[in-house]
Structure 1
Amino acid sequence: MPKPELSKHTTDMDDDLLRVIDAMPIAMVLSRVDGSLEYVNPALKQLLGYPDDEIYQPDVVISHPASMTINKTIRQHLKDDPYNPVIIEKQYLHKSGSIISGLLTMVAQADNKNNIKRFIAQIVDLTQLKQTQASLFLFKTLLDNSNDAIYVVDLQSKLFIECNQTACRQLGYSRDELINRMCVNDICLNPHNEKPLCEVINEIKPPAGVLLEREQVCKNGSTIPVEINACYIQQEEKQYLLAVVRDISHRKRNEAIIWRQANFDALTQLPNRRLLQDRLQLAIKQVHRSRQLIALLYLDLDRFKEVNDTLGHSTGDLLLIEAAKRLQLCIREVDTLARIGGDEFTIILTELDNRDIVERIANKLLTQLSYPFNLGNEQIHISTSIGISFYPQDAASAESLFKGADQAMYAAKKKGKNSFEYFTPWMQQQSRQRSGLIKELRQALGQQQFLLHYQPVFELTTGQLTKAEALLRWQHPAKGIIEPADFIALCEETGIIIPLGSWVFQQAIRQLSLWQPRLAPDFQLSINTSLLQFQDKQKDILLCLNNLKHYQLSTKQLIIEVTEKTLMDSHHNITEKLLALQQAGINVALDDFGTGYSALASLTRQDISFIKIDRSVIHNIAASSADRILCEAIIAMAHKLSIKVIAEGIETEAQKQLLLDAGCDYGQGYLFSPPIPAQSFQLLLKQH
């Protein structure tokens, strides 16, 4: 076999030795004592990028300039101690100018006189190693700065064998303390009787992973909720688990806040309707097993709206908070008290063997809320109306149980408030009739089933017809004429009163324009209004001004009748709209005076033109009655304030004479005429 050709560059070394050096895969360098290159093998030429013998040129420098001082130090060291080789890391220059890191091992070769003949060096390329180390450093830096804890677990021993700095910070251990701890026994708990982590780990097979929640135990004994994303790693014969563990304390806190906001009332901190429904469904399931009873109590605070309207919403909120505290004192730990909106509360009474305890609790609730509430400088008196229904006697579902209690609560209010009523099938029948009536009312306006009747108002001293009151009637297709007392409350409750009130204005003003040629210049038409019409954010009630203008009528020909409740309401919309009507020249009459609160202070704050004494006062008037004295006082007071008085419901000559003697200005009632259709009223106008 022919010998490989050696480099043309000569040296006094044996050819066979040079061939060995050339055949070595590691870069080899023979250098003279002065540092010049004597011989390099092909591996070095390849390492530094030099072809053939170009590397021997005098201007070629293979060491990095920063390593020149190191070279001198190495040679001097070998001269002083030629028998100990030098092993050092240094940098070299590639022909392209790039830097190569190398591990230099260098020895000195002596001649026969024991002088240094040459230096023999071996250079191991560290470039890839350096890159790998840099990558590993970068990777470790990234891991240590991760927001998540990262662990490597030996699946056989269940010990931690590696972790990042976040893991140490999260648990409060140093790295040395954490390594070789049992990941199952020492760190992770199993809340809610879930499958132990060790069993989950054993079930993981490549390439599958697992995502689960656990609690970790910190060094100080505290626990933190975590989300573990674990995957299986196989390396030769060893199996490992790579676990990325995220602290989810913040997420859990947010979830708890969201859950509480979704299930509890923000004002009273009581369960809300949603949580109440859940607990009621659970209670129903338990009843099926225990054969006991559930009682549902539906509470509505009496007079709460008046407190809100007169003292403001902040006082109303304080009242709700204090009321909730009192209600809580009346029930047992197994019961649930909830606020389901506004001033309405609901109580679920469970584990009942009979109804006796329900009545005792209902009476306690009434008593507690009857005591005065001292809120700041205000002492407030309220009461509550309670409706009670039972499961399963009164209802087959949670929904029907609620409906039954709600119907019973309305019955308690009609009874006079501050009381409780049990649900009966009759209430359900009444509720269905009521729902049917509401449905018919919604259709009635569109189907033009409403009409107006007009009741004349006479000046008592002269007997002249000077005014009229427009009164609403419902021409029901099956039931005939229905009086407003039978449907106005439902219209107000459902909001139908707002569009219906606008219709009344349009029809009444249109009719007034038709009568205009036969009317005296000072004739006035009176129209009733609802509090809701003033509270509505729209300006519908002010459209009467446009209607008057359209028919070229004077604003002085219109009287707006309001109730004392409207005057007492502090809503800014009411004040603004009343003021706008009065500034336009429309007269305002205070209706039903002598009932309710008789807000005398409002008479001085508002520009009231007329007071209408309620028919209930007029009905009992007699020469020696207290009602006569009351009428005389009202009339005298009104006249002192330059307010005219209209007496409603006059039915006898005696009543008329007593009112005339007291100085009453106007009267209306069946003595003069009942409310009559527009055509009949027109005939009456001809007579006067």
Structure 2
Amino acid sequence: MRRAFDSILQIVSHMAHTSGQGYLNAFVSEIATAVGADYVLISITRGQTDLQVQAMHPSSLDIQDISLPLNTTPDAIAWQEGEMWFSDRLSQLFPDSYGAQIWQANAYAGIALKCAEGHTVGICSLFYRQPQSDMGSTMALLRLLGPLAGRELALTLQQTEDSRHSEPPSVLKNMLTHASVGIGKLSLDGKILWANPAIEQMLGYQPHELVTRSVAELNHPEDWAHSAPRYQELRAGKRATFTQEKRYLHKEGRTLWGRATVTLMRNKQQQPDYLMVLLENIEPLKYHAEQLKLSHQVYENLSEAILVCDANSRIISVNPAFEQITGYSSEEARGQRPNLLKSGLHDQRFYADMYHALARVGVWRGEVWNKRKSGKLYPQQVVIRALWEEGKIQKYIAIFSDISQTKIAEQKIANQSNYDNLTGLPNRWMFSRCLNRFCAQGESFTLMVLDLNNFKAVNNSMNHHAGDALLREVADRLVSRIRSEDLVARIGGDEFAFLIPGIVTHRQAEIYAKRVMGSFSRPFTLASQHIYVTSTIGITLCPSDGCESDELLRNAEQALFVAKRQGRALDTYCLSMREEVRQRHKMQQDLAEAIKQEQITMAYQPIWDNHSGQIAKLEALVRWHHPHWGQVSPAEFIPLAEETGLIQRLGALVLWQSCRDLSRLQKSGFPHIQMSINRSTMEFQTIDTSASEWLQVIHHFDLNPADIVIEITESLLMESNAQHKSRIEALRDAGCKIAIDDFGTGYSALNYLRNFPVDLVKIDRSFVRHIPFNEQDRLLLDGIINIVHNLGMQVVIEGVENHEQLDFLCQKGCAFTQGYLLSRPLAYDDLIDYLALNQQGADLSIVS
């Protein structure tokens, strides 16, 4: 529900300042983004038999070139019935429609667009290339936003109230007459209300004979027993649609096979109204399977065994080599499944991956241990191919040979040495050998390194099996994007490298890289979820950037690092990056020395209690003044400390100085001040589960742990680590407070707040910047504050810079505020004076 609300809010806000044709163009674009549709159209009628496209996504297509006949299309049904959707098989149901022919669409959703008076003025149609498992949320969004588009379309066309209130009956009649698929309308109790000629011809009845019957009479009695419960679920509104292959009774008494899709249609009050049925004749598929066109001479004399199975994995045919290798005769094998040969050495996942590869790319190659009729185990080298007809797998053909124990052992050793076990790609060692050979031969080529963005989040939010599946799918897609002479390898956890001969200019390399990145334009399906994954690429050229393999790899990885840091999808190595590496190494050495010499200092930004008007807390902020570079931003040296393993030493120094200064403050007349100290995720991972190291520092300065607030980030919660929860609970048991810092800039997973003991939520300044004047930001911030309060936590708002923001936040019951309106970060000596003025009741709310 929250995702649907966000989608509606985003679409309405994006179109708030548009009207007319601009509104319609924005509408189709926003709908496509919200529900992932490949094509979205708004169409009106042109004459009685055609649709005219008024707006379309993607906008790059020329709507003048698109001809949409209304006959034999799902749009005609949507126009007549108000809405219609098909989750798959659109090309089989409406083979002559534009979406099926030109766009190869498999799923469809459509809704009639009505003017303010309730007359139909157009159609909004959505087409998907891939089948959709859940069309309910898509239709819910169309029902909510369709009236807005209908009114705008009516105004744009400047039509009269009755100009398009109904579609000429001849259009629906023409569509029904010429539809290649049977279409019928049923009452809720299954009585036939009307049917088109396709159904009449299929079942042999005249129109007046059909309307006197029910679907139960036309179904084979045995199959109706399975269909009846589904019809009951439709009538009760518990199911939206179902598809079933079953037998029907022809008027002449014979049976025939049909595939029926039955959909529940609702009235304006969303109550079940009637049923729509689409009936396909699949008799030829059941009784006239095409014979395999195999060469008899090759089939009979090939030394490799051949095994042919139908779509249900039943053995149809085997050749003599199969009989010799397995010991099973053709008569014994036919009708059996290939698991007749199963050795038991491979687990279910092995075979699941095999069938997944066949369904995805149509081929699987590998080694399998099987068992002869005698019971003896033996290794096979196998190639399995899936044969497709009309969009479905009809047969499987396996070709295998018996390989010796020596060969299989040698092959396994070679694979382990040269190839990645997970993806089957060359590994880093083999890639390095190829790279060295190219460099030694003086070849000109491009080297690219690709890294997946936020791959760790996939493992954390799902599991490592999903991460492995993602890596395998990424590898398959990358292989499909490269040329036969190119080499792609997996050289690290989520890092891939490309060796590309003949690409010798930066322009060529960038074009090639963008083609590779096209692999990530489609979502990945993991654990029944669709997720989008992005990547970053670093590029270097040989020989212009270097001639040694190690140097080139360093160059590509440096370009990758720069691209990631600057938020770009790709970058090409240049000499300035080498200088940047040198400077970064120097900064790392200087940072280590500064930590060692305790040259790191602290500044403290006050946090105000909105109820009392007094300073309640201080946030400890680390500062580093470099003798050459001057003041170095924490945004630069803290990530550097994390990358180089200095973060633990830096964090220990920050904790020590912060606790020391808090102790001095409390002894100087400010006993109620609390200290808020940021802790890096990497620091949090290395302390013991009782957090004794941090608590020892707090006790060393005779501080009450209740005066210490430990700030952690959202990413720590996302890791769902039981040890993290133990550390948080240990700190809270000792009396410390826990705060989530910069809430809203990371994953913003409210669900994780419920599972972790948190006291304070610090909302990032980006949520405050435009309040109270921006209504959308105001509503969003108000919702977050309410949720946090309902979870029993207090809110700290960062980035408060003017009185209007402060007044708004105080009205919303926010406990604490922090920002430049109240004070910038202060050195210790300046902080003493500031606290003294606040204690005296001076007005300090100025922009400094």
So what's the TM-score if we normalise by structure 1? 0.60
Separation in 1 of the partners of 2:415 and 2:614?
68
The answer to whether the aligner puts 1:398 opposite 2:553 as a matched pair is: no
Separation in 1 of the partners of 2:504 and 2:764?
51
Task: State the Cα distance separating 1:477 from its structure 2 match.
Answer: 2.6
- Residue type of the alignment partner of 1:285: A
The answer to whether the aligner puts 1:499 opposite 2:654 as a matched pair is: no
- Residue type of the alignment partner of 2:416: Q
Secondary structure of 2:800's partner?
coil
Q: Aligned pair in 2 of structure 1 residues 527, 355: CA closer, same or farther (>3 Å)?
A: closer
Of 604, 608, 615, the match for 1:458: 608
Of 424, 432, 447, the match for 1:277: 432
Task: State the Cα distance separating 1:258 from its structure 2 match.
Answer: 4.2
For the 8 Å contact 1:518–1:686, the answer to whether it is kept is no
Separation in 1 of the partners of 2:690 and 2:491?
32
Separation in 2 of the partners of 1:491 and 1:406?
19
| Paired residues for 1:666-681 under 5 Å | 666-681=816-831
- Residue type of the alignment partner of 1:272: N
The answer to whether the aligner puts 1:300 opposite 2:455 as a matched pair is: no
Aligned to 2:567: 416
Aligned to 2:716: 566
Of 791, 802, 810, the match for 1:641: 791
Secondary structure of 1:454's partner?
strand
Separation in 2 of the partners of 1:351 and 1:308?
37
- Residue type of the alignment partner of 1:319: L
Separation in 2 of the partners of 1:443 and 1:353?
43
Secondary structure of 2:467's partner?
helix
Aligned to 1:626: 776
Q: Deviations over 1:486-525 (max 9, x none)?
A: 2111122222112211221122112222222345554311
Bigger mean CA deviation after superposition, 424-433 or 313-322: 424-433
Of 533, 557, 569, the match for 2:683: 533
For the 8 Å contact 1:388–1:409, the answer to whether it is kept is yes
Separation in 2 of the partners of 1:684 and 1:513?
17
Aligned to 1:490: 640
Task: State the Cα distance separating 1:436 from its structure 2 match.
Answer: 2.1
Separation in 1 of the partners of 2:750 and 2:507?
47
Task: State the Cα distance separating 1:304 from its structure 2 match.
Answer: 0.6
- Residue type of the alignment partner of 2:743: F
Give aligned pairs, total: 435
- Residue type of the alignment partner of 1:300: D
Separation in 2 of the partners of 1:644 and 1:429?
47
For the 8 Å contact 1:562–1:589, the answer to whether it is kept is yes
The answer to whether the aligner puts 1:264 opposite 2:419 as a matched pair is: yes
Aligned to 2:520: 369
For the 8 Å contact 1:502–1:541, the answer to whether it is kept is no
Task: State the Cα distance separating 1:630 from its structure 2 match.
Answer: 2.7
For the 8 Å contact 2:601–2:624, the answer to whether it is kept is yes
Of 487, 491, 496, the match for 1:345: 496
The answer to whether the aligner puts 1:378 opposite 2:560 as a matched pair is: no
Task: State the Cα distance separating 1:583 from its structure 2 match.
Answer: 2.1
Segments of 4+ in structure 1 off by > 6 A? 249-253
Task: State the Cα distance separating 1:538 from its structure 2 match.
Answer: 4.8
- Residue type of the alignment partner of 1:325: D
| Percent of pairs with identical residues | 38
CA RMSD in angstroms, aligned pairs only: 2.4
Q: Aligned pair in 2 of structure 1 residues 361, 651: CA closer, same or farther (>3 Å)?
A: same
| Paired residues for 1:180-329 under 5 Å | 257-286=412-441, 288=442, 293-329=444-480
Task: State the Cα distance separating 1:526 from its structure 2 match.
Answer: 0.3
Q: Aligned pair in 2 of structure 1 residues 447, 396: CA closer, same or farther (>3 Å)?
A: farther
Separation in 2 of the partners of 1:646 and 1:385?
35
Of 502, 514, 521, the match for 2:664: 514
Computing the radius of gyration over CA atoms, which structure comes out larger, 1 or 2?
1
Q: Aligned pair in 2 of structure 1 residues 355, 521: CA closer, same or farther (>3 Å)?
A: closer
Separation in 2 of the partners of 1:645 and 1:354?
54
Task: State the Cα distance separating 1:378 from its structure 2 match.
Answer: 3.0
Q: Aligned pair in 2 of structure 1 residues 265, 444: CA closer, same or farther (>3 Å)?
A: farther
For the 8 Å contact 1:533–1:541, the answer to whether it is kept is no
Unmatched 5+ stretches in structure 2: 1-403, 840-848
Unmatched 5+ stretches in structure 1: 1-248
Q: Aligned pair in 2 of structure 1 residues 270, 516: CA closer, same or farther (>3 Å)?
A: same
- Residue type of the alignment partner of 2:605: Q
Secondary structure of 1:341's partner?
coil
Task: State the Cα distance separating 1:553 from its structure 2 match.
Answer: 1.9
Q: Aligned pair in 2 of structure 1 residues 295, 256: CA closer, same or farther (>3 Å)?
A: same
Q: Deviations over 1:366-389 (max 9, x none)?
A: 111232111232322201111111
Greater RCO between the two (CA within 8 Å, min separation 6)? 1
Aligned to 2:259: none
Of 616, 622, 630, the match for 1:480: 630
Task: State the Cα distance separating 1:541 from its structure 2 match.
Answer: 5.2
For the 8 Å contact 1:646–1:666, the answer to whether it is kept is yes
Secondary structure of 1:393's partner?
coil
| Paired residues for 1:651-670 under 5 Å | 651-670=801-820
For the 8 Å contact 2:738–2:757, the answer to whether it is kept is yes
| Paired residues for 1:574-589 under 5 Å | 574-589=724-739
